[in-house]
Amino acid sequence: MENRIRYARTHVTRNEDLIFERTSPGKSGVALPPLDVPSAPANQILGANLYRDDVEGFPEVSELEVLRHFTRLSTWNYGVDTGLYPLGSCTMKYNPRVNEVVARLDGLATDHPYTPESLAQGCLKVLYETARCLAEITGMDAVTLQPAAGAQGELTGILMIRACLAERGNPRRYMLIPDSAHGTNPASVHTSGYEVRNIKSNAQGCVDLAELGRAMTEDVAGLMLTNPNTLGIFEVQIREIADRVHARGGLLYMDGANMNALVGVARPADFGVDVMHLNLHKTFTTPHGGGGPGSGPVAVKRFLEPYLPAPVVEQTPDGRYRLDSDRPKSIGRVRAFYGNFGMAVRALAYILANGPEGLRQTTEDAVLNANYIMTRLRDVYELPYDQPCLHECVFSDRRQAARGVRTMDIAKRLIDYGFHPYTAAFPLIVSGALMIEPTESAGKAELDAFIEAMRAIAAEIDEDPQFVLKAPYSTRVSRLDEATAARTPILRWKPQ
């Protein structure tokens, strides 16, 4: 009896096959309307060499099977809608449902990118207004929405720095990056043709001015800085940093991944930042979608505006919108068309829903939540940089590591308590980092439950570290063998 009950449960929630294993010939999940033109003989038109009769292995399933398949898969996921998702540096905040509705409106979702400007005024208005709002929020003078994601925004910004310096006579050779930076920073710098020079952080986890002074030579194009940095700490000397970079003819790039700590409170333009990117999927609530699409607008000071990727959306004196492609100094295109338009729709809807007071309140709540967690966990987890944080706080696993339990193990055990883990083992300047960003989307009750869970895990580690090392116990699969996956990669299904 017990076995049968377990079997039924297993069938629905635990053991969904690959769609290819559900296939039976002759099924389909769509029906087409009758063809209202003469059918074209594909094999004759294309010829025997080009005509394809069959896509081998392709699935054949009904609509209901597709619906159930993906519904079941979805139940194995955890999202912001499920609960607290305190993944540091990822800003996993609520994705408002109205954003999804407006992004799918006929006229916005259905306009083709080559629609004549006169018939695309609504879409162009959305792009223009989004750029205008982001310029106001950052204090910068001009914004491009073309970059498809944060990393592409970085590349765009660095290429603009390069174009500007080249025009001044020398593009220079190096870009400085603090050792606390996200991995995309050095990768983007490399793609834009610069060499990376890492600079060490000081004891407060911030840029060391003396070290910067030594590194900032005439060969250096600039500094790429995340502010607040990946420890959730504001670079208090940001103005001095900007001055030193500028004094040597370099430019200051700001990675705006952590703007959720600043919106409505302070503006990067006032810090001396020359160019920066934003992540609409972080600060501006466009959904992460299981890993994209993102959107990485770039904001610049006036003197960099000529180098923006083309085209740029403009408003004409009569109030109409147009695309300006005649930009001789532009770095070129970084992506076809105008960027992830659908993400601009959602970000604009979020900004409009909040207004200036709402955005400021949002920032305050995000910072309050992070400080609350920091205060209530600091007696059990070590705080390597002991100072107030902004939107996220970073602990070290040092005390737990002494008992053989590392940050990733604590993260896995947190899953059993019903929470998504924090970011484990980043930033690299903290040994065994636990990087916690609650965002404003967590209420006190949820935070208290999270704090209790983290404290309970610390107690478990004291009592029975072996037990924690085998977590999670509650998920569909237990810890997966990543070594075998990498040694003998299986990257697609093949027929038996």
**Binders in 156-195 for another protein, by CB under 8 A:** 159, 162, 182-184, 186-193
Helix (H) or strand (E) holding 104: none
74 binding another protein? (CB under 8 A): yes
Longest dimension (CA), the chain: 82
User: Which of 179, 177, 173 shows the shortest CA–CA distance to 192?
Assistant: 173
Q: Which listed residue (7, 13, 63, 404) binds another protein by CB under 8 A?
A: 63
402 binds another protein per the rule CB under 8 A: no
Shortest reach from residue 456's CB to another protein, in Å: 19
DSSP 32: P
Q: Which of 107, 243, 404, 459 binds another protein (CB under 8 A)?
A: 107
Q: Does 379 bind another protein (CB under 8 A)?
A: no
From 6, 9, 12, 67, residue interacting with another protein (rule: CB under 8 A):
67
141 to 2, 167, 298, 376: CA distances (angstroms): 68, 20, 11, 41
Q: How far is the CB of 254 from another protein (least distance, A)?
A: 13
For CA atoms 485, 487, 488, 491, give the dihedral sign: positive
Q: How far is the CB of 53 from another protein (least distance, A)?
A: 8
User: Does 383 engage in binding with another protein (CB under 8 A)?
Assistant: no
Cα–Cα distance between 99 and 80 in angstroms, integer?
15
Nearest residue to 363 via CA among 261, 259, 221, 486? 261
Listed residue (312, 309, 318) closest to 118, CA to CA:
318
Q: Which is nearer to another protein, 24 or 462 (CB)?
A: 24
- Minimum gap (Å) between residue 391 Cβ and another protein: 10
Task: Residue 340: name the closest of 392, 389, 284 by CA.
Answer: 284
Picking from 102, 124, 92, the residue whose alpha carbon sits closest to that of residue 111 is 124
Q: Does 123 bind another protein (CB under 8 A)?
A: yes
Nearer to another protein, 159 or 212 (CB): 159
Of 1 and 50, nearer to another protein (C-beta) is 50
| 331: contact with another protein by CB under 8 A | yes
How far does the chain reach from its first CA to its final CA, in angstroms? Answer: 33
By CB under 8 A, tell whether 295 contacts another protein: yes
| Near another protein in 332-371, by CB under 8 A | 332-343, 345, 349, 351-362, 364-365, 367-369, 371
Per CB under 8 A, does 29 bind another protein? yes
List of residues 6+ apart from 32 with CB closer than 8 A = none
Q: Which is nearer to another protein, 1 or 52 (CB)?
A: 52
Q: Does 417 bind another protein (CB under 8 A)?
A: no
28 or 462: whose CB is closer to another protein? Answer: 28
Does the footprint of another protein cover residue 398 (CB under 8 A)? no
Q: By CB under 8 A, tell whether 125 contacts another protein.
A: yes
- What are residue 177's phi and psi, to 5 degrees? -140, 125
Strand order in the sheet with 195-199: 142-144, 298-300, 275-277, 251-255, 220-226, 174-178, 195-199
Q: Which of 7, 76, 303, 467 binds another protein (CB under 8 A)?
A: 76
Q: Which residues, 6 or more positions from 162, have their beta carbon under 8 angstroms from its beta carbon?
A: 171, 192, 193, 194, 221, 331
Q: Is 230 in the site for another protein (CB under 8 A)?
A: no
Q: How far is CA 279 from CA 131, 283, 434, in A?
A: 13, 6, 22
Binding flag, residue 382, another protein (CB under 8 A): no
Nearer to another protein, 216 or 389 (CB): 389
Between 281 and 461, name the residue whose CB sits nearer to another protein. Answer: 281
Residues binding another protein: number (CB under 8 A): 201
As measured in angstroms, the least distance from the Cβ of 465 to another protein is 17
Cα separation of 304 and 308, whole Å?
7
Q: Which helix (H) or strand (E) holds 221?
A: strand 220-226
Decide if residue 404 touches another protein (CB under 8 A): no
The answer to whether 234 touches 258, Cβ cutoff 8 Å, is no
Question: Of 149, 176, 312, 393, which one interacts with another protein (CB under 8 A)?
Answer: 149
Choice from 12, 265, 402, 459 touching another protein (CB under 8 A): 265
Cα-based angle 298, 300, 302 (whole degrees, multiple of 5): 150
CB 450, min distance to another protein, A: 13
Q: Does 467 bind another protein (CB under 8 A)?
A: no
CA torsion angle 412 414 418 422 (round to 10): -90
- Of 214-222, 243-251, 289-297, 459-467: span binding another protein (CB under 8 A): 289-297
The answer to whether 110 contacts another protein (rule: CB under 8 A) is yes
What whole-number distance in Å separates Cα of residue 236 and Cα of residue 40? 69
Selection from 274, 5, 295, 24 nearest residue 157 by Cα: 274
> Does the protein bind another protein through residue 478 (CB under 8 A)?
yes
Q: Check residue 266 for interaction with another protein (CB under 8 A).
A: yes
299 touches another protein (CB under 8 A): no
